Each structure stands twice: as C-alpha cells, then as structure tokens.
Amino acid sequence: MSLSTKTPQEHIDESPVWQDGTPANVSPMTEMQWRIWMLAAAGKFFEGMIVFMTGVALPLIVAEFSLGTFEKGVIGAATLFGILIGATALGSMADTYGRKKMFIAELVIFVFFLIALTVSPSFIFLALALFGAGLALGCDYPTAHIVVSESIPSRIRGKLVLGAFAFQAVGALFGTIIGYLVLYDNPQIEAWRWMYATAIIPAILVIIGRFFISDSPHWLLGKGFVERAEAELGRLLKREPQYPCNIKLSKVAEEENWEAKTSGFAKLFTKKHIRATIFASLPWFIQDLGTYGIGIFTPIILAATFGHNTVGDDRNVADLIENTMQGTKGAAFLDILLIIGIMFAILLTDSIGRVKLQIFGFIGCAAGLVLVAFSDSIGVEYRLPLIFTGFMLFNFMTNIGPNAQTYLIAGEVFPTTIRGTGAGFAASFAKIGAVMTAFLFPILLKDLGTAKLLYILAGTSLLGAWVTWAYRIETKGVSLERINR
C-alpha cells in the first residue's frame, strides 16, 4: 500500500489534528453520516411497527375472516417467513448490486405490499401481502446494518448500529399504541386495516430520502470502482472544516479480488468462515424462538389472562374489542422495557463488548420466562405482579443482550465481499426460529399451556448463552477491514 493512500475505513476513522500536530480527541459525524443513520433507523422502525402490530390486529383478523388455529398461525408467521426468505434472497443482492440500490428497492417493495395488505379481501391475499412485506423487511436486516456500519468510525460502530436497531423497539411500542388508538377511535372489526395503513406515507418519504445518500465506498472499492469509491467517500465525509483534505484510496488486495469472484453461500461454510457463520446464525435463531413468540402473542396472553372471557370462548364483538384493547395496553407498557434495554445496550456494547452482553442477556431472558411460567402455579393475588415482572425482565434482557447483539454481530463478523450474504443468511436462519414460534405458538399454547411452553423457551435461552460462549468472536472496536481476513 502506498504511503499516500488509505483504505475507506482508515479515512472514515481519521481524526483531525491541531496546528501543532496533536490529534483531536473527537471526530464528529458528518451530515451525510447522520442522514444515512436516520434512514436506516426508519427501516427498523417499520419492522418493529408492522411485526408487533400484528399481535394487536390478529384477534380482529381472526374474527373478520373466521380463521381457525392453523390459519391464525399462518397469519402470525407470514411476515416472519417473508423476512426469512428476504434476508438471504434479497439481502445478499447488496453484495452484487450495491448497498444503496437494495436500500431503496427494499422499501419500494415494502410499500407495495403494505398497500395490498390494507385492501386484502381474503385470508390468502392477506397472508401473501404479509409475506411480501416481510420480504422487504428481511432485505433490510443485512442492508441497513451494512449501510450504517460501512459509513461510520469503528470506535462508535456498535453504538450507532444498535442506535438504529433500537428503532425496532420504538416501532414495536408505536405499533401497539397506534393499534390501541385506532381501535379506540374505530371500535370495529375492520379497524386492523387502518392500523397498517398508518405506515404507508412515512415509508414513501423514507424512500425519497434514500435516493440522496452516498453509496458504500467499501463495496465500490471491492468491485474495482476506485474513482467512484473516492467520490462517494468524499460525499460521505464532507464537513466544515474539511478533513480528510485529500482522499486517495489504495488498490484492492489480490486476495480481496479473488474473494469477490468466488463469494457466495458456499464460502460461508469454508474453514475460514464457518466459525463466524455459526456464531452469527445459531444464537440469533435461538433468540428469535423466544422474542418473536413472546412479542407477537403478549397481547393475546394478557387478554386471555385478564380479559372478560378467555380467548377461544364464544363472545360478542364488544368483548373481543375490549379484551384486545386491554391486552394491547399491557403490551404497550411492556414494550417500554424493550426501549430501555436497547438504550443500555447502546451505552455498553462498545465498552463491555458484544459477547458478554449477549450471554448475560440470554440468562436474564431465561429468568424472566421462568417467572411468568411460575405465576401459573401461585395464588391469583400474586399472579399479575409476577407476570408483569417476568415479561418486563424478559423484554429488558432480550434487548440489552441477544436481540441487539445478534443483529450487531451478524453484520460485523464477515469480510466486505460476503458481508451482505453472511448477514442475510444469519438473519434468515434466525427467522426460521421466529416462524416456528409464530406458527406453533398458538397451537402449543392451547395444547401445552402457557407455563410448559415458557419453561421450554427458558431452556432454549440458556442454550443460547452456551453457544455464544463456545463460538465467540469479539468485534468490539475492530475495523471492518480487518475482520475475518
């Protein structure tokens, strides 16, 4: 490498110096870097909003289309199954067609299917629309992470990637609140359509914004587009006063050129990358077993526990609406703990590290689920406090630990040439767990009961802590250009 050239990350990590040559202690983010971050955060917001809003809308959808247990499971799992397919099938395209193109395309697909969702005339049409929206959200898993991580300094990468990811929790909270407000204003079975419709115009505005960001200089350089990479890096780092003053990128290494030609899913399972693949995928799969099952069905569990009648009994529309609203209010309160958890993750991930927080979080999730399960065997007067304490602990610990850290890790442990493919595969593998619980949860809830099901999920959380320790790769503060080389 020439002394006059640097890699994209070295330019991004560069700090200004005073006139006497002393390095400055701070390296402020540019306007473009913040714009990219906000537009990525918006995508995570829509994911949390749509996926968790389904928990509010599901009882109304079931009533409108007269769905049985199987069809109910399909609706609960449709979006997650779309994410499963989209994360790999579309997310990996970011390695082929570029980060920015897929960053835009995914949200166009999302809006199209969101509109279809609001006018769904039948169960089949509705399931397909939810699946299509999931395809787009799946693509966003690797793409949003990469777009942010490849544009910001290494020292704060964990904070800012998780800061964007935190908007999934904000979206989950807004989804339940909007669901409640729509239902309060329009207490009708078809109110679920208006719940989903609230996301359409904001999503269109985000699409427009994504046209005006810089493309990834890492990806462009990896494809051999040196001049374009230098130009896009200049756009990314434009600031006053300007630094770095001269942007000159080094040629791509011979090894990286070879990797670009041979990248693909098979490469994830080579001796060089298999540990990263397991570490990125398996704990995330285990985490999703609990997080999505609990997240989607919390309103239903609370409604069944504290509603006028238990879920499944014959009742009129007024009872259905009332129970749904009561469950939604409880779920909205619990979702606040998701936000608090992710705030702690943002503060701690670049100091404590990804691995320790993930293990700690898995153990905490197990403890929370055990508390909720145990409430089934104690007196009624203690049941409510124990259930809420358990769910609060679970929501807090999942977001300080595995829900946040698995997302962060999957976008960091692979080299640039297969980063989209690797992160996409990890997200897809994880969503197998999410689909399993979303589809099977209502069935198992009926057959096994709440307590047994939660004890099982507590056991899987402890397994997640062990897998994290066994295959650990700490990426705290490490340059993306040095990872898994």
| pLDDT beyond 80 at 358 | yes
Predicted local distance difference test score (pLDDT) of residue 328: 54
Higher pLDDT, 264 or 263: 264
**CB neighbours (10 Å) of residue 31?**
11
CB 354 within 8 A of CB 149: no
| pLDDT beyond 50 at 95 | yes
**pLDDT range class, residue 144, cuts 50, 70, 90:** very high
**pLDDT range class, residue 258, cuts 50, 70, 90:** very low
Give Cβ neighbours of residue 219 (< 8 Å, ≥ 6 apart): 94, 95, 98, 99, 150, 416
Region 359-363 average pLDDT: 96
Residue 175: exposure state from Cβ atoms within 10 A (0-12, 13-18, ≥19)? buried
CB 27 within 8 A of CB 16: yes
Give Cβ neighbours of residue 393 (< 8 Å, ≥ 6 apart): 337, 364, 367, 368, 371
| pLDDT beyond 80 at 130 | yes
Predicted local distance difference test score (pLDDT) of residue 308: 46
**pLDDT range class, residue 312, cuts 50, 70, 90:** very low
Higher pLDDT, 461 or 26: 461
Higher pLDDT, 195 or 302: 195
Report the C-alpha gap between 144 and 40 in whole angstroms. Answer: 5
List the one residue out of 126, 123, 45, 145 whose CA is nearest residue 79.
126
Predicted local distance difference test score (pLDDT) of residue 460: 92
| pLDDT beyond 50 at 309 | no
**pLDDT range class, residue 425, cuts 50, 70, 90:** very high
Residue 183: exposure state from Cβ atoms within 10 A (0-12, 13-18, ≥19)? buried
* Mean pLDDT, the chain, whole residue set: 83
Going by the DSSP 8-state scheme, the letter that residue 170 receives in this structure is H
| pLDDT beyond 80 at 316 | no
In the chain, what are the domains?
8-15+28-470 (1.20.1250.20)
Among 71-85, 234-248, 322-336, which stretch is predicted with the lowest mean pLDDT? 322-336
Predicted local distance difference test score (pLDDT) of residue 15: 78
Highest mean pLDDT among 74-78, 107-111, 228-232, 298-302: 107-111
Region 233-262 average pLDDT: 69
